[in-house]
């Protein structure tokens, strides 16, 4: 059984919580005590029937205000696949939340309310998904019951979305549905004979992610932890970590970055024994034929396919903190297992997430996205984010508050 991670995005009242509740409920993932609790809450609020949205609105503040304030993670499985949903609210902080949810997702489900048509937020969601490296987007056109199951309404929404997203390299799968009534979520709908495609769950169960799998890319292995042999033991010094991409095997000629030391892999092992080869995302231990002064924060790469080593680079940054990013400011940058001070040399431009136009700017405020030029105190081994999610991403941390203030994608 394999694993599919997807993020859901929608504007307030598009029915996203209802959709997820419906997906979980109709795929029999909701337990009786959960349903009983939701039924009781629905009655207390004077709702008719069971409000499936309450299944996912977890915190009291959310129930009181009828909103979702934070990314929530949901789990369900069918006999074919296990799914992890990053449920990202469309309300305040939508960019920050969606960037967070999309950072670990393989696919995004973007909800649109058929009664409203395409809204600006749908464009932002498509842009953020594309920016974060998601190639597969389901355009879930919801509330079809309120537009008399109209094919024309559906076609209009789809056309508007495709027009906008054509520049974003997305593979878009539009599905008309009613989350409230359960049409085309888990069970196919009888109301829209004009729609020949699959229901949402059938699509999620069978979609093949034809992006290049992390294991098919050149190897990247950030060293996380040095395993010291027991005193008196003849065992080698091992370097532990999780393979970020590619496949490694004993005998491979590798380079340790940023130092540039060349060596060969002597062994790869896990707790369960030695391995002939190991692929992303496996957690392993690696040893080398040479004794080297290396440790946490160093990156192992094939000698013939190494990332760029630099202390000066451009990155797209999504800002997540109330205090804006400014040129000249200093932060801590965490890239793979290495943390280093960094200075913002220049804020090159800000991206208008609605029009995708670049505009000059002095600051990046919370939920804004821009291109910045950074200089780090130590060299970093960087790949473009579009090619390597792990070695192309970083976070920025405020040194005074320790808050995570920015998400960075190497250009």
Tell me which residues in 296-315 interact with other proteins (CB under 8 A): 296, 302, 304-305
Q: Please identify which residue in 240, 266, 309, 356 interacts with other proteins, judged by CB under 8 A.
A: 240
Q: Which residues contact 241 (CB under 8 A, 6 or more apart)?
A: 221, 222, 223, 224, 225, 283, 284, 286, 337
3-state secondary structure of 327: coil
Q: Please identify which residue in 50, 118, 389, 410 interacts with other proteins, judged by CB under 8 A.
A: 389
Give the footprint of other proteins on residues 86-125 (CB under 8 A): 96-97, 99-100, 103-104
- Is 377 a binder of other proteins (CB under 8 A)? no
User: Cβ of residue 393: shortest distance to other proteins, in angstroms?
Assistant: 5
Give the footprint of other proteins on residues 46-75 (CB under 8 A): 55-56, 58-61, 63, 69-75
- Is 403 a binder of other proteins (CB under 8 A)? yes
What number of chain residues touch other proteins (CB under 8 A)? 84
Structure tokens at 289: 């034929």
User: Cβ of residue 370: shortest distance to other proteins, in angstroms?
Assistant: 17
* Peptide bond before residue 82 is cis, with ω within 30 degrees of 0: no
Q: How far is CA 25 from CA 191, 247, 300, 382, 399, in A?
A: 20, 39, 45, 43, 44
Give the footprint of other proteins on residues 138-197 (CB under 8 A): none
How far is the C-alpha of 404 from the C-alpha of 139, rounded, in Å? 31
* Binding map of other proteins across residues 256-285, x = CB under 8 A, - = no contact: --------------xxx----xxxxxxx--
Q: Please identify which residue in 22, 124, 136, 217 interacts with other proteins, judged by CB under 8 A.
A: 217
- 290-313: buried (b, 16+ CB within 10 Å) or exposed (e) per residue? eeeebebbbbbbbeeebbebeeeb
Q: Please identify which residue in 78, 215, 287, 340 interacts with other proteins, judged by CB under 8 A.
A: 215
- Is 41 a binder of other proteins (CB under 8 A)? yes
Q: Which is nearer to other proteins, 26 or 155 (CB)?
A: 26
Q: Which is nearer to other proteins, 74 or 345 (CB)?
A: 74
- Is 219 a binder of other proteins (CB under 8 A)? yes
- 197-225: buried (b, 16+ CB within 10 Å) or exposed (e) per residue? ebbbbbbbbebeeeeeebeebbbbbbbbe
User: Cβ of residue 334: shortest distance to other proteins, in angstroms?
Assistant: 5
Q: Please identify which residue in 233, 273, 291, 360 interacts with other proteins, judged by CB under 8 A.
A: 233
How far is the C-alpha of 92 from the C-alpha of 375, rounded, in Å? 32
- Is 6 a binder of other proteins (CB under 8 A)? no
Q: Which is nearer to other proteins, 196 or 230 (CB)?
A: 230
Count CB atoms within 10 A of the CB of residue 159: 12
Structure tokens at 42: 């629905």
Q: How far is CA 319 from CA 33, 95, 100, 366, in A?
A: 40, 9, 11, 5
Q: Which is nearer to other proteins, 176 or 246 (CB)?
A: 246
Phi, psi (degrees; rounded to nearest 5) at 103 = -65, -25
Q: How far is CA 340 from CA 72, 293, 382, 397, in A?
A: 30, 19, 14, 10
Q: Which is nearer to other proteins, 135 or 282 (CB)?
A: 282
User: Cβ of residue 58: shortest distance to other proteins, in angstroms?
Assistant: 4
- Is 291 a binder of other proteins (CB under 8 A)? no
Stretch of 152-160, 167-175, 202-210, 395-403 lying at the interface with other proteins (CB under 8 A): 395-403
User: Cβ of residue 383: shortest distance to other proteins, in angstroms?
Assistant: 13
Q: Decide if 120 contacts 92 (C-beta within 8 A).
A: no
């Amino acid at each position: 059984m394999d694993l599919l991670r997807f993020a859901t995005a929608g504007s307030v009242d598009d029915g996203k919580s209802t959709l997820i509740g419906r997906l979980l409920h109709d795929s029999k993932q909701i337990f009786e005590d959960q349903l009983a609790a939701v039924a009781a809450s629905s009655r207390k609020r004077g709702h008719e029937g069971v409000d499936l949205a309450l299944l996912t609105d977890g915190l009291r503040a959310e129930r009181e205000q009828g909103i979702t304030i934070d990314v929530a993670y949901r789990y369900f499985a069918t006999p074919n696949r296990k799914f992890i949903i990053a449920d990202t609210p469309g309300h305040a902080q939508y960019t920050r939340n969606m960037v967070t949810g999309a950072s670990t997702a393989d696919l995004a489900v973007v909800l649109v309310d058929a009664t409203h048509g395409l809204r600006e937020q749908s464009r932002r969601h498509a842009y953020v998904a594309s920016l974060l490296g998601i190639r597969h987007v389901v355009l879930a056109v919801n509330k079809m019951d309120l537009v008399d199951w109209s094919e024309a309404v559906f076609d209009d929404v789809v056309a508007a979305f495709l027009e906008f997203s054509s520049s974003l390299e997305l593979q878009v799968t539009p599905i008309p549905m009613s989350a409230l009534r359960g049409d085309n979520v888990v069970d196919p709908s009888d109301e829209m004979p004009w729609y020949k495609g699959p229901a949402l769950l059938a699509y999620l169960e069978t979609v093949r992610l034809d992006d290049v799998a992390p294991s098919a890319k050149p190897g990247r292995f950030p060293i996380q932890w040095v395993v010291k042999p027991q005193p008196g033991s003849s065992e080698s010094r091992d370097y532990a970590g999780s393979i970020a991409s590619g496949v490694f095997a004993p005998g491979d000629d590798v380079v340790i970055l940023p130092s540039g030391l060349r060596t060969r892999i002597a062994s790869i092992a896990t707790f369960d024994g030695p391995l002939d080869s190991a692929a992303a995302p496996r957690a392993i231990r690696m040893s080398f034929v040479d004794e080297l002064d290396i440790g946490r924060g160093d990156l192992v790469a094939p000698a013939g396919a190494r990332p760029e080593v630099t202390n000066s680079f451009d990155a797209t940054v999504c800002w997540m903190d109330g205090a804006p990013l400014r040129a000249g400011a200093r932060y801590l940058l965490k890239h793979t297992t290495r943390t280093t001070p960094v200075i913002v040399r220049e804020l090159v431009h800000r991206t208008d997430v609605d029009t995708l136009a670049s505009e000059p700017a002095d600051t990046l405020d919370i939920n804004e996205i821009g291109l910045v030029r950074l200089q780090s105190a130590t060299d970093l081994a960087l790949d473009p984010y579009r090619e390597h999610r792990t070695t192309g991403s970083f976070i920025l941390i405020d040194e005074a508050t320790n808050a995570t203030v920015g998400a960075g994608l190497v250009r």
